[in-house]
């Protein structure tokens, strides 16, 4: 493959078949490996779409400045896109996310500001809004911008449909901003009207299933508040996953397939296993593996518990 720009490598990620990870007989599990994006995560799609949206609406001028609250991956995507297009990128994220994420952001030229961990993502959002006013920077607003939904409906879902050998019974996806699950659900249901959709959230912060916010270790999902883009009417159920369940699935994925994926991938795989051992036994599921695991090495993700 020959490309003129690094940004041309965003999307068209592989669909992996991971049946060996499933404990139920006669089932099929397909996973979209978003770590294959140049910035290492599904958020490259969102970042590219957000910047294109800002340009098209005249909100982002050449040489302009961007600020965004993020758990890290959207910031990395924005830093990558911003560097390629000549924008200055500022990222606000809560203390407590992996050091590798912060280092990646700075290596890509982003300015990083950390907010108190106890304020969670809501605190990072408030600070980014304040920063935008102070500096006259453009705030893409990944938590509310429908461009994030559109890019997954138009690209991620269509890529899944093109690669699947058979009709899936359910789509399983972690929820951060909810752009991925909503966009993919809309796109997949155009091709498969009856497909079930299941959201995945941290058991320690079950805000989508009626619980309260809490601290957890599944970076990338579970922002601690119901994201504005989330559409409960599209979702058939919510699966709760503990930190250790997610981490254990990541270690198993590495051991069986040699693939290092982040904790939100482990959460998605765990949720699939729970569903396939229940009412979806013998059926076909498809999920998203959002990011690479290398950016979590310092967290002990791949170290078995003592």
Could you give the residue numbers annotated as active site? 43, 264
Contacts of 168 (CB under 8 A, 6+ apart): 30, 188, 192, 195, 284, 285, 286
Rounded to a whole number of angstroms, the distance between the first and last alpha carbons of the chain is: 45
Tokens of 15: 């669909």
Residue 193, classified by CB atoms within 10 Å of its CB into exposed (0-12), middle (13-18) or buried (19+), is exposed
Contact present, 51 and 147 (Cβ < 8 Å): no
**CA 286/CA 272 separation, integer angstroms:** 8
CA atoms 45, 50, 56, 62: torsion sign = negative
The gap from C-alpha 201 to its chain's centroid, in whole angstroms, comes to 12
């Amino acid at each position: 493959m020959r490309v003129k720009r690094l940004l041309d490598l965003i999307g068209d990620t592989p669909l992996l078949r991971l049946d060996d990870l499933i404990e139920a007989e006669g089932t099929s599990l397909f996973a979209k490996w978003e770590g294959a994006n140049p910035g290492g995560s599904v958020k490259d799609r969102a970042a590219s779409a957000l910047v294109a949206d800002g340009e098209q609406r005249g909100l982002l001028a050449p040489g302009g400045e961007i600020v965004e609250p993020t758990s890290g991956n959207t910031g990395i995507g924005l830093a990558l896109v911003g560097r390629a297009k000549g924008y200055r990128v500022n990222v606000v994220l809560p203390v407590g996310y992996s050091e590798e994420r912060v280092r990646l952001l700075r290596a890509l030229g982003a300015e990083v500001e950390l907010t108190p961990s106890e304020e969670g993502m809501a605190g990072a959002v408030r600070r980014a809004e304040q920063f935008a006013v102070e500096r006259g920077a453009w705030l893409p607003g990944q938590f509310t911008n429908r461009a994030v939904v559109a890019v997954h409906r138009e690209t991620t879902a269509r890529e899944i449909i093109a690669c699947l050998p058979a009709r899936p019974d359910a789509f399983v996806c972690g929820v951060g901003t909810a752009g991925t699950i909503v966009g993919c659900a809309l796109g997949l249901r155009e091709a498969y009207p009856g497909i079930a959709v299941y959201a995945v959230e941290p058991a320690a912060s079950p805000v989508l299933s009626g619980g309260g916010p809490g601290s957890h270790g599944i970076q990338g999902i579970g922002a601690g508040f119901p994201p504005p883009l989330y559409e409960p009417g599209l979702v058939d159920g919510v699966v709760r996953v503990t930190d250790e369940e997610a981490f254990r699935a990541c270690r198993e994925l590495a051991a069986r397939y040699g693939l290092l994926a982040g904790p939100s991938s482990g959460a998605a795989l765990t949720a699939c296993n729970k569903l396939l051992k229940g009412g979806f036994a013998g059926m076909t599921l498809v999920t998203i593996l959002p990011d690479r695991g290398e950016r979590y090495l310092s967290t002990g993700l791949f170290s078995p518990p003592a």
